[in-house]
Structure 1
């Protein structure tokens, strides 16, 4: 180059290092610095221009290009600049190959980063377009799809990098297959949770946004990950359950609940007149049928309790909302209380009648010969006569 020849005209710049004059090394450094400044400045200007276009047009393609530009690493630009500077030098086969392999690895690694950004952007936009439709199943798949996509992408990148290093990939993969058995045994619990997450995705016993009950735990599913699932409980704390344990438990999913069956009972006192006892089912039915979002099923005099006459009532709330159910049940309870109060019907509560006999009522002749043992009741006069 003319610039290099000009430098070599100076005597001390003609001194040679590793087969190149000092002038050549200076020229290579200038090329490296210039290339890096051009690439970095150009990238910054391009990012600003794309940001303005994205703000004006608002297309998804512009947003994707912005994500790709922002994912470009400075180290990648530096390696490209180093490769450009090396072209100004006369390098031997080994140094030239080293620089070429380094540039190839940097390009492949940057391509992997770009691909990851494209994958994440695509999945996020797909979820955003379906979120308005309440598609929790797709949100459940996000973690697994992202994991599998990244695994495949970076596996390809690593294979290409190893190939550029002249590594026998076939032999290496075979070696990984043998070593993979030992690794699988060491992390079998982790792999169990991993396969359980795939089972959740494919079988879909629940999805993000579903309200579920697992054993004695209840809450809304917030995230289904590779190893665990996060549930927001009714009291506000976050429950983290491994996917393997989750699939082993009995899961109650209330997402598909279209109506709620409600069974409740109450008891009235034994001295209630027969006519009012017979009229109670019709009273309760009339109260329930006046409620909105309710379908009456039945009301029956069920059984004779220890201290009450027990009734059982069944109705359906035509909404899965728990708050709606509680509002209706409260209204029914208040209406039954007022109706029974107007009719003079009393609610039963646990009672016990104790009959006490005066000791003087027992004659000396009929008194037992021996004292009464603890816990043994005194015989009544009628019982003694029957003896």
Structure 2
């Protein structure tokens, strides 16, 4: 027993080392069990309340705690155990600094996992991960991660005794210079962030912008890429894209269709009045349509013009073309059965049958005869 009490390692007795080991084990068990307990409670809470409401915050907390690294907890526990020993002041300072670094690393991991879970569960909870807006998953996450890492780094350096005031000031001056040099790139970057937050369109949407139309394939930090109907890829900068009106056809719940047709002027009045009701029946019998109106709107120079409006209860362009073709064919059959002829641009020239010669005296000849007689 005396040998054990007199045994030293680095000037510390074996008894103190055993106390430090016991403190390390207890610290690790407490931190590990506490983390597991909180996660278990939050998961049970989520399973109970899932049928009542969607607890997005609980999912974010669970996702954040899932980023706990046990080896970091073990290292922190070892540092706690070493702090129970009587160590030189310089060693205690270095251990304290190492503890701050380990805590900063774990906080950065937690925040990173929390950002990822927040983006998945809160920002786009109903969107297929493969079709998520690339601007959201790249630009927004990238900026948030940079901000988090930079903040954690400054906090760690400040706790280590580093004067970060001059460092932050130099970064501010350098940031201004970089902002002027990269003005166009930063403009596209923030435009990408605006697309990710405001979501005027997402990957998979069919949009029309000025003379460009196509399906959105990718929204990047600088450009957005569309796949046109003819197959080629169209690339446009995010800044220029947001400056123009954007028509998003995928978010259209129904399509309003207006079309016109004309019949000849010699059509009897009773058949003109009957034609509006015929068009209405054709549209109401067509699939996926809601009739709005059909009117004889004007007497044109070469036709009697009708205007028809109906709603297609589908956003698919192919369905629209199929329905419009069906309506056109039925309208042609109905007009043929009633002897109604569709008009086409014509010009009628009316030429008089008789030419009347003028009997008005020629004033020049009369003046000439008068001068000759004189």
Q: TM-score, normalised by structure 2?
A: 0.63
Distance 1:155 1:15, change over 3 A: closer
Question: Which of 16, 28, 33 matches 1:42?
Answer: 33
Q: Structure 1 residue 331: deviation in Å?
A: 3.1
Give 2:78's aligned residue: 82
Tell me how far apart the structure 1 counterparts of residues 86 and 35 of structure 2 sit (CA, whole Å).
Answer: 32
Give 1:366's aligned residue: none
Question: Which of 129, 138, 162 matches 1:167?
Answer: 162
Give 2:259's aligned residue: 263
Distance 1:280 1:113, change over 3 A: farther
Task: Report Cα offsets for 1:228-270 as digits up to 9, x if no partner.
Answer: 557687799997754224224442244578762423557x8xx
Give 1:97's aligned residue: 93
Task: Note if contact 1:47-1:70 (Cα within 8 Å) is conserved in structure 2.
Answer: no
Q: Structure 1 residue 98: deviation in Å?
A: 1.7
Give 2:105's aligned residue: 109
Tell me how far apart the structure 2 counterparts of residues 140 and 179 of structure 1 sit (CA, whole Å).
Answer: 26
Task: Note if contact 2:254-2:314 (Cα within 8 Å) is conserved in structure 1.
Answer: no
Tell me how far apart the structure 2 counterparts of residues 93 and 249 of structure 1 sit (CA, whole Å).
Answer: 66
Distance 1:201 1:119, change over 3 A: closer
Question: Which of 293, 296, 299 matches 2:294?
Answer: 296
* 1:196 pairs with 2:187: no
Q: Structure 1 residue 87: deviation in Å?
A: 2.0
**Aligned-residue CA RMSD (Å):** 4.9
Tell me how far apart the structure 2 counterparts of residues 312 and 31 of structure 1 sit (CA, whole Å).
Answer: 96
Tell me how far apart the structure 2 counterparts of residues 39 and 235 of structure 1 sit (CA, whole Å).
Answer: 63
Tell me how far apart the structure 2 counterparts of residues 6 and 27 of structure 1 sit (CA, whole Å).
Answer: 15
Give 1:286's aligned residue: 277
Give 2:310's aligned residue: 317
SS in 2 for 1:213: strand
Tell me how far apart the structure 2 counterparts of residues 346 and 143 of structure 1 sit (CA, whole Å).
Answer: 60
* 1:178 pairs with 2:167: no
Question: Which of 330, 336, 355 matches 2:331?
Answer: 336
Tell me how far apart the structure 2 counterparts of residues 205 and 296 of structure 1 sit (CA, whole Å).
Answer: 37
Aligned residues: 323
SS in 2 for 1:335: helix
Tell me how far apart the structure 2 counterparts of residues 91 and 194 of structure 1 sit (CA, whole Å).
Answer: 52
Task: Note if contact 2:296-2:307 (Cα within 8 Å) is conserved in structure 1.
Answer: yes
Tell me how far apart the structure 2 counterparts of residues 28 and 232 of structure 1 sit (CA, whole Å).
Answer: 68
Task: Report Cα offsets for 1:136-161 as digits up to 9, x if no partner.
Answer: xx999887776665555444322211
Give 1:359's aligned residue: none
Task: Note if contact 2:83-2:92 (Cα within 8 Å) is conserved in structure 1.
Answer: no
Task: Note if contact 1:259-1:319 (Cα within 8 Å) is conserved in structure 2.
Answer: yes
Superposed, 1:110-189 pairs within 5 Å as: 110-122=106-118, 124-127=120-123, 150=145, 152-185=147-180, 187-189=182-184
Task: Note if contact 2:191-2:239 (Cα within 8 Å) is conserved in structure 1.
Answer: yes
Task: Note if contact 2:28-2:74 (Cα within 8 Å) is conserved in structure 1.
Answer: no
Give 1:216's aligned residue: 212
Q: Structure 1 residue 174: deviation in Å?
A: 1.1
